Structure 1
Amino acid sequence: MAKGKVGKTVGSLGDYLKEQRTSARLSLRQLADQAGVSNPYLSQIERGLRKPSAEVLQQIAKALRISAEQLYIRAGILSPDDGVGGSVELAILGDTGLTERQKQSLLDVYASFLALNAVDTEATPQAAEAPNNAPTTTETDSDAVTDEG
Protein backbone atom coordinates (compact mmCIF):
# COMPACT_ATOMS: atom_id res chain seq x y z
CA MET A 1 0.00 0.00 0.00
CA ALA A 2 1.47 3.30 -1.04
CA LYS A 3 1.96 5.99 1.54
CA GLY A 4 0.38 9.33 0.85
CA LYS A 5 -2.83 11.19 1.25
CA VAL A 6 -5.96 9.10 1.80
CA GLY A 7 -8.04 11.26 -0.54
CA LYS A 8 -8.87 14.78 -1.57
CA THR A 9 -11.81 15.04 0.82
CA VAL A 10 -9.66 13.95 3.73
CA GLY A 11 -6.87 16.32 2.69
CA SER A 12 -9.24 19.26 2.61
CA LEU A 13 -10.65 18.06 5.93
CA GLY A 14 -7.15 18.14 7.43
CA ASP A 15 -6.49 21.62 6.07
CA TYR A 16 -9.83 22.79 7.41
CA LEU A 17 -9.19 21.26 10.85
CA LYS A 18 -5.77 22.87 11.07
CA GLU A 19 -7.26 26.22 10.08
CA GLN A 20 -9.99 25.89 12.71
CA ARG A 21 -7.48 24.80 15.37
CA THR A 22 -5.18 27.74 14.71
CA SER A 23 -8.16 30.13 14.66
CA ALA A 24 -9.17 28.78 18.07
CA ARG A 25 -5.56 29.34 19.20
CA LEU A 26 -5.16 25.73 20.23
CA SER A 27 -2.01 23.69 19.90
CA LEU A 28 -2.18 20.25 18.36
CA ARG A 29 -1.65 18.76 21.82
CA GLN A 30 -4.43 20.87 23.38
CA LEU A 31 -6.97 19.90 20.71
CA ALA A 32 -5.97 16.24 20.92
CA ASP A 33 -6.49 16.31 24.70
CA GLN A 34 -9.87 18.04 24.41
CA ALA A 35 -11.06 15.70 21.66
CA GLY A 36 -9.81 12.58 23.45
CA VAL A 37 -7.49 11.43 20.66
CA SER A 38 -3.74 10.99 20.54
CA ASN A 39 -1.42 13.73 19.38
CA PRO A 40 0.06 11.67 16.50
CA TYR A 41 -3.39 10.58 15.32
CA LEU A 42 -4.67 14.16 15.16
CA SER A 43 -1.51 15.19 13.34
CA GLN A 44 -2.09 12.44 10.77
CA ILE A 45 -5.68 13.60 10.27
CA GLU A 46 -4.53 17.18 9.70
CA ARG A 47 -1.94 16.02 7.18
CA GLY A 48 -4.52 13.90 5.33
CA LEU A 49 -2.86 10.60 6.17
CA ARG A 50 -5.76 9.20 8.20
CA LYS A 51 -9.51 9.23 7.73
CA PRO A 52 -11.21 9.71 11.10
CA SER A 53 -14.44 8.01 12.08
CA ALA A 54 -17.65 9.98 12.47
CA GLU A 55 -17.32 9.64 16.24
CA VAL A 56 -13.82 11.16 16.25
CA LEU A 57 -15.02 13.98 14.00
CA GLN A 58 -17.84 14.65 16.42
CA GLN A 59 -15.38 14.87 19.33
CA ILE A 60 -13.09 17.21 17.37
CA ALA A 61 -16.05 19.40 16.37
CA LYS A 62 -17.15 19.63 19.98
CA ALA A 63 -13.63 20.59 21.11
CA LEU A 64 -13.39 23.24 18.37
CA ARG A 65 -16.97 24.40 18.96
CA ILE A 66 -17.88 23.99 15.30
CA SER A 67 -20.56 22.05 13.43
CA ALA A 68 -20.00 18.30 13.28
CA GLU A 69 -22.15 18.26 10.13
CA GLN A 70 -19.63 20.52 8.38
CA LEU A 71 -16.83 18.10 9.27
CA TYR A 72 -18.91 15.14 8.01
CA ILE A 73 -19.36 16.93 4.68
CA ARG A 74 -15.66 17.73 4.40
CA ALA A 75 -14.78 14.13 5.27
CA GLY A 76 -17.13 12.83 2.57
CA ILE A 77 -19.47 11.15 5.07
CA LEU A 78 -22.36 13.45 4.18
CA SER A 79 -23.10 14.96 0.82
CA PRO A 80 -23.87 18.68 0.65
CA ASP A 81 -26.36 17.82 -2.13
CA ASP A 82 -28.65 15.85 0.19
CA GLY A 83 -31.20 18.65 0.11
CA VAL A 84 -32.85 17.58 3.35
CA GLY A 85 -29.80 18.52 5.35
CA GLY A 86 -28.71 14.91 5.72
CA SER A 87 -31.14 14.25 8.56
CA VAL A 88 -31.06 10.48 8.03
CA GLU A 89 -27.28 10.43 7.93
CA LEU A 90 -27.05 12.67 10.99
CA ALA A 91 -29.44 10.43 12.89
CA ILE A 92 -27.33 7.39 12.05
CA LEU A 93 -24.09 9.14 12.96
CA GLY A 94 -25.53 10.46 16.21
CA ASP A 95 -26.89 7.11 17.40
CA THR A 96 -24.74 6.01 20.34
CA GLY A 97 -26.25 2.52 20.27
CA LEU A 98 -24.48 1.67 17.00
CA THR A 99 -20.87 0.78 16.41
CA GLU A 100 -18.82 2.71 13.85
CA ARG A 101 -18.96 -0.28 11.51
CA GLN A 102 -22.77 -0.49 11.82
CA LYS A 103 -23.09 3.25 11.19
CA GLN A 104 -20.96 3.01 8.05
CA SER A 105 -22.94 -0.01 6.82
CA LEU A 106 -26.23 1.82 7.28
CA LEU A 107 -24.88 4.91 5.51
CA ASP A 108 -23.70 2.75 2.61
CA VAL A 109 -27.08 1.01 2.30
CA TYR A 110 -28.93 4.32 2.50
CA ALA A 111 -26.71 5.88 -0.18
CA SER A 112 -27.23 2.86 -2.44
CA PHE A 113 -31.02 3.14 -2.08
CA LEU A 114 -30.89 6.85 -2.96
CA ALA A 115 -28.74 6.13 -6.01
CA LEU A 116 -31.04 3.30 -7.12
CA ASN A 117 -34.12 5.49 -6.73
CA ALA A 118 -32.46 8.29 -8.69
CA VAL A 119 -31.74 5.88 -11.56
CA ASP A 120 -35.34 4.53 -11.43
CA THR A 121 -36.78 8.06 -11.49
CA GLU A 122 -34.64 9.02 -14.49
CA ALA A 123 -35.61 5.83 -16.33
CA THR A 124 -39.35 6.22 -15.70
CA PRO A 125 -40.24 9.91 -15.18
CA GLN A 126 -43.98 9.19 -15.29
CA ALA A 127 -43.61 7.18 -12.06
CA ALA A 128 -43.41 10.48 -10.19
CA GLU A 129 -46.81 11.56 -11.60
CA ALA A 130 -50.13 10.56 -10.06
CA PRO A 131 -51.66 7.36 -11.47
CA ASN A 132 -54.84 7.58 -13.58
CA ASN A 133 -56.98 6.06 -10.82
CA ALA A 134 -55.84 8.57 -8.17
CA PRO A 135 -58.70 10.27 -6.28
CA THR A 136 -59.63 13.74 -7.43
CA THR A 137 -59.36 16.73 -5.12
CA THR A 138 -63.14 16.80 -4.59
CA GLU A 139 -63.15 13.18 -3.44
CA THR A 140 -60.25 13.86 -1.09
CA ASP A 141 -61.88 17.03 0.26
CA SER A 142 -65.21 15.28 0.94
CA ASP A 143 -63.46 12.31 2.56
CA ALA A 144 -61.55 14.67 4.84
CA VAL A 145 -64.78 16.33 5.98
CA THR A 146 -66.68 13.07 6.58
CA ASP A 147 -63.77 11.33 8.32
CA GLU A 148 -63.35 14.02 10.99
CA GLY A 149 -64.49 13.25 14.45
Structure 2
Amino acid sequence: MSSVPPTLGALIRQQRELAALPMRQLAAMSGISGPYLSQIENGLRRPSDHVLRSIATILGVDPEELVGETRTEDELEAARRRTRAALEEDPNLTPAQRRTVLDVYAAMVGGVEPGA
Protein backbone atom coordinates (compact mmCIF):
# COMPACT_ATOMS: atom_id res chain seq x y z
CA MET A 1 0.00 0.00 0.00
CA SER A 2 1.46 3.39 -0.95
CA SER A 3 1.50 6.19 1.57
CA VAL A 4 -0.41 9.40 1.00
CA PRO A 5 1.85 12.35 0.19
CA PRO A 6 2.01 15.02 2.89
CA THR A 7 0.52 18.45 2.43
CA LEU A 8 2.81 21.22 1.20
CA GLY A 9 2.93 22.80 4.66
CA ALA A 10 3.79 19.51 6.34
CA LEU A 11 6.55 18.90 3.81
CA ILE A 12 7.99 22.38 4.38
CA ARG A 13 7.94 21.77 8.15
CA GLN A 14 9.61 18.39 7.68
CA GLN A 15 12.37 19.90 5.52
CA ARG A 16 12.82 22.81 7.96
CA GLU A 17 13.20 20.40 10.87
CA LEU A 18 15.66 18.27 8.90
CA ALA A 19 17.68 21.44 8.29
CA ALA A 20 17.50 22.18 12.04
CA LEU A 21 16.13 25.66 11.37
CA PRO A 22 13.80 27.27 13.88
CA MET A 23 10.59 28.58 12.34
CA ARG A 24 11.47 32.20 13.11
CA GLN A 25 14.87 31.86 11.46
CA LEU A 26 13.46 30.35 8.26
CA ALA A 27 10.76 33.02 8.19
CA ALA A 28 13.33 35.81 8.57
CA MET A 29 15.59 34.29 5.92
CA SER A 30 12.59 34.02 3.57
CA GLY A 31 11.47 37.59 4.18
CA ILE A 32 8.14 36.59 5.71
CA SER A 33 6.71 36.73 9.22
CA GLY A 34 6.80 33.83 11.65
CA PRO A 35 2.99 33.70 11.87
CA TYR A 36 2.73 33.54 8.06
CA LEU A 37 5.19 30.61 7.95
CA SER A 38 3.22 28.93 10.73
CA GLN A 39 0.03 29.29 8.70
CA ILE A 40 1.78 27.79 5.67
CA GLU A 41 3.10 24.85 7.69
CA ASN A 42 -0.33 24.24 9.22
CA GLY A 43 -2.04 24.27 5.83
CA LEU A 44 -4.00 27.46 6.51
CA ARG A 45 -2.31 29.50 3.77
CA ARG A 46 -0.65 28.53 0.51
CA PRO A 47 2.58 30.40 -0.19
CA SER A 48 2.98 32.51 -3.30
CA ASP A 49 5.36 31.16 -5.93
CA HIS A 50 7.96 33.72 -4.84
CA VAL A 51 7.76 32.68 -1.17
CA LEU A 52 7.79 28.99 -2.08
CA ARG A 53 10.92 29.45 -4.22
CA SER A 54 12.59 31.37 -1.40
CA ILE A 55 11.79 28.74 1.23
CA ALA A 56 12.84 25.90 -1.08
CA THR A 57 16.15 27.59 -1.92
CA ILE A 58 16.96 28.12 1.75
CA LEU A 59 16.08 24.50 2.53
CA GLY A 60 18.10 23.24 -0.45
CA VAL A 61 15.05 21.69 -2.11
CA ASP A 62 13.75 22.13 -5.66
CA PRO A 63 10.43 24.04 -5.44
CA GLU A 64 8.95 21.81 -8.16
CA GLU A 65 9.73 18.73 -6.09
CA LEU A 66 8.01 20.28 -3.07
CA VAL A 67 4.82 20.95 -5.02
CA GLY A 68 4.97 17.68 -6.94
CA GLU A 69 5.17 15.59 -3.77
CA THR A 70 2.24 17.18 -1.97
CA ARG A 71 -1.52 17.25 -1.97
CA THR A 72 -3.77 19.93 -0.61
CA GLU A 73 -6.11 19.15 2.27
CA ASP A 74 -9.01 19.34 -0.20
CA GLU A 75 -7.34 16.76 -2.46
CA LEU A 76 -6.69 14.48 0.51
CA GLU A 77 -10.30 14.76 1.70
CA ALA A 78 -11.60 14.07 -1.81
CA ALA A 79 -9.43 10.93 -1.97
CA ARG A 80 -10.75 9.82 1.43
CA ARG A 81 -14.36 10.35 0.28
CA ARG A 82 -13.73 8.30 -2.88
CA THR A 83 -12.18 5.50 -0.83
CA ARG A 84 -15.09 5.47 1.64
CA ALA A 85 -17.59 5.45 -1.25
CA ALA A 86 -15.79 2.53 -2.91
CA LEU A 87 -15.83 0.58 0.35
CA GLU A 88 -19.51 1.36 0.94
CA GLU A 89 -20.42 0.16 -2.57
CA ASP A 90 -18.25 -2.99 -2.66
CA PRO A 91 -20.67 -5.87 -3.41
CA ASN A 92 -18.20 -8.42 -2.03
CA LEU A 93 -18.53 -7.16 1.55
CA THR A 94 -21.28 -8.16 3.94
CA PRO A 95 -22.78 -5.32 6.00
CA ALA A 96 -20.74 -6.43 9.03
CA GLN A 97 -17.52 -6.60 7.00
CA ARG A 98 -18.27 -3.18 5.49
CA ARG A 99 -18.72 -1.62 8.95
CA THR A 100 -15.49 -3.22 10.16
CA VAL A 101 -13.48 -2.09 7.13
CA LEU A 102 -14.89 1.45 7.36
CA ASP A 103 -14.13 1.57 11.10
CA VAL A 104 -10.54 0.46 10.48
CA TYR A 105 -10.18 2.98 7.65
CA ALA A 106 -11.56 5.77 9.84
CA ALA A 107 -9.12 4.87 12.61
CA MET A 108 -6.21 4.93 10.16
CA VAL A 109 -6.93 8.19 8.34
CA GLY A 110 -9.20 10.05 10.73
CA GLY A 111 -11.76 12.55 9.64
CA VAL A 112 -14.72 10.20 9.84
CA GLU A 113 -16.59 8.77 12.78
CA PRO A 114 -16.21 5.01 13.23
CA GLY A 115 -19.47 3.22 12.52
CA ALA A 116 -20.72 6.10 10.36
TM-score, normalized by length of structure 1? 0.42
- Does the CA contact (< 8 Å) of 2:10 and 2:42 recur in 1? yes
Any residues of structure 2 matched to 1:62-73 within 5 Å, and which? 62-73=57-68
CA distance in 2, matches of 1:65, 1:37: 18
CA distance in 2, matches of 1:32, 1:75: 21
Query: How far 1:74 sits from its partner (Å)?
Result: 4.2
Match of residue 24 from structure 1: 19
Residue 33 of structure 2, aligned match among 33, 38, 41: 38
CA distance in 1, matches of 2:9, 2:38: 9
Give ranges in structure 1 of 5+ residues lacking alignment. 1-8, 77-149
Match of residue 15 from structure 1: 10
Query: How far 1:68 sits from its partner (Å)?
Result: 1.2
- Does the CA contact (< 8 Å) of 1:32 and 1:42 recur in 2? yes
CA distance in 1, matches of 2:25, 2:44: 20
Residue type of the alignment partner of 2:7: S
CA distance in 1, matches of 2:66, 2:27: 16
CA radius of gyration, larger in: 1
1:51 equivalent in alignment to 2:46:
yes
TM-score, normalized by length of structure 2? 0.53
CA distance in 2, matches of 1:55, 1:74: 18
Query: How far 1:15 sits from its partner (Å)?
Result: 0.8
Give ranges in structure 2 of 5+ residues lacking alignment. 72-116
